[in-house]
């Protein structure tokens, strides 16, 4: 009985600074198909390090980027969620989902956040959500909202080079990394206390997606999510993989096997650190068509000889 009373009391206690906890700001699994592309930069110089002292950030980055696998997912309407309860302090909507390039740089200047929402919380905390899909924002200034309230949808407005929601967390105007709120980075040994109710797993690079095609695809097609798959009469049979956070000397193993002992397989060594990359291998068609039946493809990413990610696919040709 006493325990039940205490449990009720603890639910009723108002939040204090130490109780400020965040839920994930995106309605998508961060172990795939979605992922975290960039964390807060902890390096005060021109260099950049994330809270694990690795490179999943860039100089001056003040938030965490929760990414969709490609631009086609914008049209699926992936919700952006309030990370904590509070009051909407401001919104902006109506900017196009064109992303950042030389041609859009002038249009997004001073509006880098794109379509965004700022939410105020207790104890001087504030969260900001950027790059939302044009026309998707569902809240207005003054709305009192709960953790998990839908604010809008993930897009690519403002200074965004890939579709994602950028979450900034601040207290009294100071940037706080939700993965490392005390700001003292402990390379390799993550803080035991984060601001997350359920901290996303740190993925130090991985596979965003894999697919097949009839030719080596363009990177632009992969990023848009517009690669047509392999066909029975395709000029080539190709397997490709789209990657994030790859490092020099990582090994990507691509493997595609089908009927009649068709085997396309190779270990590809990554030659430099890259935020995003893709690799593809294939074979040219020499007979009338590729053998009919079921094909199995796999991409495996290895770092220091240890598998860090894997994705597979199946394909059936008529």
Tell me the window of 160-168, 209-217, 246-254, 300-308 that interacts with Zn ion (CB under 5 A).
Answer: 160-168
Contacts of 264 (CB under 8 A, 6+ apart): 237, 238, 239, 254, 255, 256, 257, 281, 282, 283
Rounded CA-CA distance 215/39 in Å is: 34
**C-beta of 159: minimal distance to Zn ion in Å?**
8
**C-beta of 217: minimal distance to Zn ion in Å?**
26
Burial degree of 99 (CB within 10 A; 0-12, 13-18, 19+): buried
Question: Do residues 259 and 232 touch, judged by C-beta distance below 8 A?
Answer: no
**C-beta of 124: minimal distance to Zn ion in Å?**
22
Question: Do residues 298 and 195 touch, judged by C-beta distance below 8 A?
Answer: no
**C-beta of 130: minimal distance to Zn ion in Å?**
7
Contact between 177 and Zn ion per CB under 5 A: no
**C-beta of 79: minimal distance to Zn ion in Å?**
18
**C-beta of 56: minimal distance to Zn ion in Å?**
11
Burial degree of 260 (CB within 10 A; 0-12, 13-18, 19+): exposed
Token pair 């009649």 is found at 260
Nearest to Zn ion of 121, 166 (CB atom): 166
Nearest to Zn ion of 174, 261 (CB atom): 174
Under rule CB under 5 A, which residues in 257-296 are in contact with Zn ion?
none
Nearest to Zn ion of 115, 241 (CB atom): 115
Nearest to Zn ion of 60, 77 (CB atom): 60
Nearest to Zn ion of 57, 241 (CB atom): 57
Nearest to Zn ion of 64, 194 (CB atom): 64
Token pair 């020099």 is found at 248
- Of all helices (H) and strands (E), which one includes residue 222? helix 219-224
How many amino acids of this chain bind Zn ion (CB under 5 A)? 3
**C-beta of 38: minimal distance to Zn ion in Å?**
6
Rounded CA-CA distance 163/157 in Å is: 8
Tell me the window of 74-82, 95-103, 162-170, 239-247 that interacts with Zn ion (CB under 5 A).
Answer: 162-170
- Strand stretches in 31-182, DSSP E: 35-38, 64-67, 79-81, 86-92, 115-120, 125-132, 144-145, 150-153, 164-171, 174-175
Under rule CB under 5 A, which residues in 46-75 are in contact with Zn ion?
63, 65
DSSP 74: G
Contact between 166 and Zn ion per CB under 5 A: yes
Contact between 223 and Zn ion per CB under 5 A: no
Total count of residues recorded for the chain: 318
Reduced to 3 states (helix: H, G, I; strand: E, B; else coil), residue 284 is strand
Nearest to Zn ion of 42, 303 (CB atom): 42
**C-beta of 50: minimal distance to Zn ion in Å?**
12
Q: Report, in angstroms and rounded to the nearest whole number, the Rg of the chain calculated over CA atoms.
A: 22
Q: Which residue is nearest to Zn ion (CB)?
A: 166
Task: Catalog residues that contact Zn ion under the rule CB under 5 A.
Answer: 63, 65, 166
């Amino acid at each position: 009985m006493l325990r039940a009373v205490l449990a009720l009391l603890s639910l009723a206690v108002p939040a204090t600074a130490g109780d400020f906890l965040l839920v994930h700001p995106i309605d998508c699994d961060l172990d795939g198909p979605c992922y975290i592309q960039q964390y807060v930069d902890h390096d005060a110089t021109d260099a950049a390090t994330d809270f694990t002292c690795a490179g999943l950030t860039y100089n001056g980055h003040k938030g965490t980027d929760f990414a969709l696998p490609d631009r086609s997912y914008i049209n699926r309407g992936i919700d952006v969620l309030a990370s904590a309860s509070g009051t909407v302090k401001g919104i902006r909507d109506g900017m196009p989902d064109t992303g950042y390039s030389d041609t859009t740089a002038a249009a997004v200047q001073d509006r880098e956040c794109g379509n965004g929402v700022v939410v105020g919380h207790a104890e001087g905390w504030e969260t900001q959500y950027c790059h939302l899909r044009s026309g998707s924002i569902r809240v207005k200034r003054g709305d009192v909202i709960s953790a998990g309230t839908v604010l809008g949808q993930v897009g690519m407005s403002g200074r965004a080079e890939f579709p994602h929601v950028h979450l900034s967390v601040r207290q009294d105007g100071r940037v706080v990394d939700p993965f490392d709120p005390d700001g003292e980075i402990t390379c390799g040994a993550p803080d035991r206390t984060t601001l997350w109710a359920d901290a996303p797993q740190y993925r130090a690079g991985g596979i965003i997606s894999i697919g097949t095609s009839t030719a080596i695809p363009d990177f632009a097609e992969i990023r848009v999510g517009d690669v047509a798959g392999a066909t029975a009469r395709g000029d080539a049979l190709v397997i490709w993989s789209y990657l994030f956070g790859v490092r020099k000397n990582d090994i990507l193993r691509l493997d595609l096997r089908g009927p009649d002992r068709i085997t396309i397989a190779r270990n590809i060594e990554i030659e430099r650190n890259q935020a995003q990359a893709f690799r593809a291998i294939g074979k040219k068609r020499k007979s009338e068509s590729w053998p009919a039946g079921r094909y199995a493809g796999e991409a495996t990413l290895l770092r220091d000889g240890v598998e860090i990610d894997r994705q597979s696919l199946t394909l059936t040709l008529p």
